[in-house]
């Protein structure tokens, strides 16, 4: 059994607390001028999806939760579920759309994503760090409009909208950093 101290918390760490499996969504180490240091966190229950804010003493000890991660291919979605396939066994698993919501901004059908499992139950979907997607709508760039750092909104084929430089046009394929949701470069 492996343990972690609250003072070692980082984003994405999964641990067990009060019989529940939690994942760190955000954290901040606080060292006030007076009094003891503490760790302020935002944690999500991996099974229920509920998010809470909690403060920990840095010396508190928790058991790490063993999370299995599998690369799976995104097939399609219907009303409430998304379907992913294990490319080795061809087994298809349904995942609640609410658990995959953030990833669906960046993945389209047939793309690969990393699925997180706890005790055989899927609870999270992570897109690749970088994806290449086509712009389905954005205003045309105006010739001569080259203001440094100026951006405009663009809608991707997944429906996600982000800011892109003025020189990027509708129909082009761009590279996106899925961790920040930001434009990286044009492709091709």
- pLDDT per position in the chain (188 positions), as tens? 799 999 999 988 899 999 899 989 899 999 988 889 999 999 988 878 789 999 999 999 999 998 899 999 999 999 899 999 999 999 999 998 888 888 999 999 999 999 988 888 888 899 999 999 999 999 987 666 566 778 999 999 999 999 999 999 999 999 999 989 999 999 97
Q: Considering only the top CATH level, what class is 3-64? A: mainly beta
User: Tell me, which fold does domain 132-186 have in CATH?
Assistant: OB fold (Dihydrolipoamide Acetyltransferase, E2P) (2.40.50)
Where are the CATH 2.40.50.140 domain residues in the chain? 68-126, 132-186
Helical ranges in the chain per DSSP H: 97-104
Per-residue confidence (pLDDT) for residue 150, from 0 to 100 = 86
Where are the CATH 2.30.30.30 domain residues in the chain? 3-64
C-alpha separations of 72 from 60, 80, 102, 122, 132 in Å: 35, 19, 16, 11, 18
Residue 167 structure tokens: 């020189």
> Residue 126 contacts by C-beta under 8 Å, 6 or more apart in sequence?
103, 113, 114, 115, 116
User: Tell me, which fold does domain 68-126 have in CATH?
Assistant: OB fold (Dihydrolipoamide Acetyltransferase, E2P) (2.40.50)
Helical ranges in 5-113 per DSSP H: 97-104
The answer to whether residues 184 and 177 touch, using CB atoms and an 8 Å cutoff, is: yes
């Amino acid at each position: 059994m492996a343990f972690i101290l609250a003072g070692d918390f980082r984003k994405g760490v999964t641990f067990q607390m009060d019989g529940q499996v939690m994942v760190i969504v955000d954290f901040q180490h606080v060292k006030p001028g007076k009094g003891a240091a503490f760790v302020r966190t935002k944690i999500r229950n991996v099974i229920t999806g509920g998010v809470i804010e909690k403060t920990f003493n840095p010396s508190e000890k928790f058991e790490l939760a063993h999370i299995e991660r599998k690369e799976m291919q995104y097939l399609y979605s219907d009303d409430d579920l998304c379907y992913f396939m294990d490319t080795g066994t061809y087994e298809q698993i349904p995942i609640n759309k609410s658990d995959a919501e953030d990833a669906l901004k960046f993945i389209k059908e047939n793309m690969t994503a990393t699925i997180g499992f706890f005790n055989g139950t899927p609870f999270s979907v992570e897109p690749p760090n970088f994806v290449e997607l086509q712009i389905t709508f954005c205003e045309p760039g105006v010739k001569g409009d080259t203001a440094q750092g100026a951006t405009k909104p663009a809608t991707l084929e997944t429906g996600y909208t982000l800011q892109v430089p003025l020189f990027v046009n509708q129909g082009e394929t761009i590279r996106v950093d899925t961790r920040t949701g930001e434009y990286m470069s044009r492709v091709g």
